[in-house]
């Protein structure tokens, strides 16, 4: 299996001697990070580890124990969230230590980071989970990667994902890729991680990193964040560069942070936001960006009018019940909740979006493949990838490539059907969607459950996806934040905050204020399943004891 080769080879070098600093009986291993360890903890609590290098060693040892060991025939939960480890991870951590000693610390110095494996990072493959890109190792960083390195973050590795960011098949299994295999949910390993930033979500939830970068076209940051008990932020499209990221859609693609706290998401956004000459969508980014962390205020809910998007509920009864409990928390914090029952025609939005995504996938992927090294990447077009998949049994063993084939049949960016679909989707989701809802109801943001709890992974029938709040902000290109709001049967669910274009700071501030009311994140326990008598016993016990 290719993933085993990638990881095992790197671990042989990077993990050699990782346990040595903690092996002595006189030097017990440091305690594990607290469940909600964040950037402030990393930069404040070096003492138990001695240095950021030792901290990086600890995170690498956690990865070996909990992410990969089960695949080497040894006990372990095998979360399978990472595709590859950065061979320079310890060197990067040593550089952070040197800057600290010299009094030259950077904003993210020492912070363990993972990046989704459709984002380029020099020295490592960028596969998008596909065997067609297994040898794709560009000698360059994507601008977002370069910004994170320049801020001192310690890149631990590349995370698994739903292959090709979940655009290959309408029958896909989220969290699975031919390169990386299947990512498992740390809250119940037979449950799905959602996609496509599956490994990014699972890695931070499981404690393999403090921060992850995901990418989203529609739900690929917010859904896996919610199902893995994390904060996930999809910025306004154009705030963060997409150069060097394997694309789906120039209209909707963006990268964003996946973290344990809203403050961490804001701190990461401070680093990654900004204009990129190679990405025309970011022309306004430098003028629009601000200090997102400085704008956070715990009291910012008081007196704020918030729209309750009832048309974005109903994913499960349990999720709706948790949502109602959190609405009461918001009221008690002084928020003025405005009920909104009717929204845009979501079927019309989805239909137009589908045409846009398939048309742009063909154009944008062909453009990206043309920038890769011909010696490393033999598939130069989407048509080549389709042919490669047909000739590679592992690629099509679990599901087909009907979306790739439909994209290949599209007529290009000048096709009148595409032009009309883009105008329709943007109008329905933006001007007549989020913009109208905010204005007509005089509200600052919309809120809704992000999605339901994680479904059972089903390699026979594919995903059992019940919908989410992601489509309107994804199609409009507007900011969308999910924050943990509780659990349903031991599985996390998230609360979505959706704002208007360039209202990223406002959305983050309100999400932060909600988070401060009563933090809802619970650390995972890595159970094999919640579908067992033992797992449900604590829930049944009070009922069985009733007279």
- Positive or negative, the Cα torsion across 39, 41, 43, 48? negative
Q: What are the helix (H) ranges across 289-369?
A: 317-332, 346-369
The pair of three-digit structure tokens given for residue 346, joined into one six-digit string: 């979501």
The distance from CA 504 to its chain's CA centroid, rounded to whole angstroms, is: 17
The distance from CA 127 to its chain's CA centroid, rounded to whole angstroms, is: 17
CB 2 within 8 A of CB 71: no
Long-range contacts of 172-175 (CB under 8 A, 24+ apart): 172/399, 172/462, 172/463, 173/398, 173/399, 173/457, 173/458, 173/459, 173/462, 173/463, 174/198, 174/463, 174/465, 175/199, 175/202, 175/457
| Catalytic position from the list 169, 174, 220, 241 | 220
Question: How many CB atoms are closer than 10 A to CB 458?
Answer: 12
The pair of three-digit structure tokens given for residue 190, joined into one six-digit string: 């037979």
How far is the C-alpha of 161 from the C-alpha of 194, rounded, in Å? Answer: 9
Active site residue 220: yes
Active site residue 116: yes
Question: How many CB atoms are closer than 10 A to CB 432?
Answer: 15
| Catalytic position from the list 116, 158, 234, 289 | 116
- Helix, strand or coil for residue 282? helix
| Catalytic position from the list 174, 196, 275, 316 | 196
How far is the C-alpha of 262 from the C-alpha of 285, rounded, in Å? Answer: 21
Active site residue 5: no
Task: Find the helix or strand (DSSP H, E) in which 308 lies.
Answer: strand 305-309
How far is the C-alpha of 26 from the C-alpha of 17, rounded, in Å? Answer: 17
Composition of the chain by helix, strand, coil, percent to 5: 40, 15, 45
CA dist 27 to 52, 237, 282, Å?
A: 17, 49, 50
> Which residues are part of the catalytic machinery?
116, 196, 220
């Amino acid at each position: 299996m290719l993933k085993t080769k990638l990881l095992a080879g790197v671990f042989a070098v990077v993990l050699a001697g990782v346990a040595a600093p903690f092996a002595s009986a006189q030097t017990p291993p440091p305690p594990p990070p607290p469940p909600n360890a964040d950037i402030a903890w990393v930069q404040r609590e070096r003492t138990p580890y001695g240095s950021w290098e030792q901290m990086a060693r600890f995170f690498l040892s956690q990865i070996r124990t909990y992410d990969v060991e089960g695949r080497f025939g040894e006990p372990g939960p095998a979360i399978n969230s990472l595709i590859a480890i950065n061979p320079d991870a310890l060197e990067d951590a040593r550089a952070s230590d040197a800057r600290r000693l010299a009094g030259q610390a950077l904003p993210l110095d020492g912070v363990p980071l993972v990046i989704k494996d459709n984002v380029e990072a020099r020295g490592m493959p960028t596969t998008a989970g596909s065997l067609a890109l297994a040898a794709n190792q560009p000698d360059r960083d994507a601008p977002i990667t370069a910004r994170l390195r320049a801020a001192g973050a310690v890149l631990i590795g590349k995370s698994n994902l739903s292959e090709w960011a979940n655009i290959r098949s309408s029958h896909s299994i989220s969290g699975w890729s031919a390169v990386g295999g299947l990512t498992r949910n740390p809250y119940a390993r037979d449950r799905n991680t959602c996609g496509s930033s599956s490994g990014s979500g699972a890695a931070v939830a499981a404690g393999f990193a403090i921060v992850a970068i995901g990418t989203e076209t529609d739900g690929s940051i917010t859904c896996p964040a919610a199902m893995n008990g994390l904060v996930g932020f999809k910025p306004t499209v154009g705030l963060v560069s997409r150069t060097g990221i394997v694309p789906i859609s120039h209209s909707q693609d963006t990268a964003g942070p996946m973290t344990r706290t809203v403050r961490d998401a804001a701190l990461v956004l401070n680093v990654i936001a900004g204009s990129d000459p190679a990405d025309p969508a970011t022309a306004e980014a430098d003028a629009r960006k601000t200090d997102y962390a400085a704008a956070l205020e715990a009291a910012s809910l008081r007196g704020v009018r918030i729209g309750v998007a009832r048309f974005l509920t109903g994913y499960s009864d349990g999720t709706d019940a948790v949502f109602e409990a959190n609405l009461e928390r918001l009221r008690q914090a002084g928020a003025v909740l405005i009920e909104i029952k009717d929204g845009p025609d979501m079927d019309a939005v989805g239909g137009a979006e589908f045409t846009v995504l398939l048309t742009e996938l063909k154009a944008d992927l062909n453009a990206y493949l043309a920038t890769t090294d011909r010696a490393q990447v033999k598939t130069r077009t989407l048509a080549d990838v389709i042919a490669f998949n047909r000739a590679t049994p592992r690629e099509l063993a679990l599901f087909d490539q009907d979306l790739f084939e439909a994209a290949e049949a599209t007529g290009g960016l000048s096709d009148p059907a595409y032009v009309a679909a883009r105008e329709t989707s943007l109008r329905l989701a933006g001007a007549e969607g989020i913009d109208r809802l905010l204005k007509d109801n005089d509200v600052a943001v919309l809120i809704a459950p992000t999605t339901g709890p994680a479904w059972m992974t089903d390699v026979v029938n594919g995903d059992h996806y019940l919908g989410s709040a992601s489509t309107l902000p994804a199609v409009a290109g507007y900011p969308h934040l999910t924050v943990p709001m509780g659990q349903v049967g031991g599985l996390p669910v998230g609360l979505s905050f959706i704002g208007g274009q360039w209202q990223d700071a406002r959305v983050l501030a309100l999400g932060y204020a909600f988070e401060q009311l009563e933090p809802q994140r619970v650390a995972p326990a890595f159970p094999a399943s919640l579908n067992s008598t033992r797992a449900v016993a604590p829930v049944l016990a009070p009922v069985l004891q009733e007279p």
